[in-house]
Amino acid sequence: MGIAKKIAIVLGIIIVGYLLFSVVYNNTQPTEQESLNVITDDGSHLQSSSYPYKAKISYEGSWFAEMGDPNYLVKEEGDGTKTITLDCAPWERVCINAQKEDYGEGELKVQLLRDDQVVAENMSSNATGNVVINYNY
């Protein structure tokens, strides 16, 4: 057997091995969507176990609040009583900072609810009413 035939046989074996490896490798890899580990939610399936925290702000005038993870606070404003679902995983720390916008005389009351149970509460009747809740679970 000549040297050219030996080289052709070895190259043929390498090419067949490479093709088999490619087919097996490509068929066992996750799709691009699976590999991104993306979770999407359109908000239609809110459940207390997935989103356990809510902030309830009660005041007869207008108010402004920042709430959520202390490193990433979401801003919200409103009038009257409003309950806001904090769309998050069960954080270890939750912060709420609310303030009266109209400097009214009424009481600004802030409650942090976990699975619809009050776990922290604070209030102020001061005209500049600033209420802070820092909750560590």
Q: What is the pLDDT of residues 21-32, one digit of tens each?
A: 999 988 877 665
CB atoms within 10 A of CB 58: 17
Range of the domain at 84: 53-136
Return mean pLDDT, the chain.
81
How many domains are there within the chain?
Answer: 2
Asked if 135 and 95 touch (Cβ cutoff 8 Å), the reply is yes
126 and 93 belong to one structural domain: yes
Q: Provide the strand spans (E) within the chain.
A: 53-58, 62-69, 72-79, 82-85, 93-100, 108-114, 117-124, 130-136
Q: What is the pLDDT, as a whole number, of residue 21?
A: 92
* 126 is a domain residue: yes
Query: What is the pTM for the complete model shown?
Result: 0.61
Give me the numbers of helices (H) and strands (E) for the chain, helices first please.
Answer: 2, 8
